[in-house]
Amino acid sequence: MKILVVYDLPREGFKALTDAGHELFFPKETLFSGEELLDRLTDADVVVSVFTQPFTAEHIDAAAHLKLIANYGVGFNTIDVEYATKHGITVTNTPDPVIEPTAELAMTLMLALSRKITELDRKIRIENGLKWGIMENLGDSLQNKTLGIIGMGNIGQSLARRALANGMNIIYYNRHKLDPLIEKQYHAKYVDQNTLLTDADYISLNAPYTRETHHILNKAAFEKMKPTVYIVNTARGPLIDEVALAEALKTGRIAGAGLDVFENEPDIHADLLNLENVIMVPHVGTGTIDTRIEIGKCVSKNILNFLNGKGEIDKVN
């Protein structure tokens, strides 16, 4: 089979495919140009897609032999899944390898925000940039604070495990209430969305991006929150109304935000770039070399199981 990988990804993750005798085609540069991608799709049996390269109806129409879109990552909102389904094309993703690194980054952002790590790092490098003293440069403790998790799936639960180790209380809002045994495991309490917004000291977004979750945090939501709340988003940018977020941060309506994802990335709202109470990283929730290789292995497993017609695949349509 001809397998087209749209991005220059670590080859170690795809060894199982080459060992099985399949042809893999990677771009010579970082990724294929738009024209080259359309041209190469004409005889591709499988495509390995990435979130930075939308896979649209136009691409599907160009791929007459396409049987499988194997997404490299968990989020598949940049793929026209409905159109693929209509054309009998299977779409898979890689939910398992992203769990731990994404929760790890969410916890990192929470700690960095509460202890003002990046702000103090910037200021200490400047002559007279800060004062030294017992009552200077004070942050907040995580212990005994309430973490509200929006989206208590695998990543949300992994974050809850880390938060528990830091002495936090866990509340969560989900489409469905979790099994009582899972709630007990994380000492987690199910609440409605309004209760989470008003009671949480930290709010972490770990939900998928859908029509229902678009701008789940908007101006009205920020107005319900404590002025001391910290927001962390390692899910998808459009879960937050970025204009409303910038305004809430500028006016002190909320205390701070840690953002791995943005509404129109790579473009970022200009006000966010100039605020001390925001920590931003460039969509690196799964950004470790170990994870990149593991995601490739998961993609390879999906492709091999699909082509062999046996074994589980992480099917999304």
Residues designated catalytic: 236, 265, 283
Do residues 74 and 298 lie in contact, with contact meaning Cβ atoms separated by under 8 Å? no
Contact 206, 153 (CB under 8 A): yes
Let me know how long the chain is.
317
Q: Contact at 8 Å (CB) between 107 and 149?
A: no
Give residue for tokens 């007990």: 184
DSSP string, 91-124: EE--TTTTHHHHHHHHHHHHHHHHTTHHHHHHHH
216: Cβ contacts below 8 Å, ≥ 6 apart: 150, 193, 205, 207, 239, 240
The DSSP-derived string for 140-178 is ---TTPEEEEE--SHHHHHHHHHHHHTT-EEEEE-SSPP
Q: Give the burial class of 143: count Cβ atoms within 10 A of its Cβ; 0-12 exposed, 13-18 middle, 19 or more buried.
A: exposed
Instruction: Provide the token pair at 91.
Output: 């779409």
Q: For residue 21, give every residue at least 6 positions away whose Cβ sits within 8 Å of its Cβ, in sequence order, or none.
A: none
Q: Which tokens in the block code for residue 105?
A: 């980054």
As given in the structure block, the two tokens for residue 134 are 């017992």
Peptide linkage before 101 cis (omega within 30 of 0): no
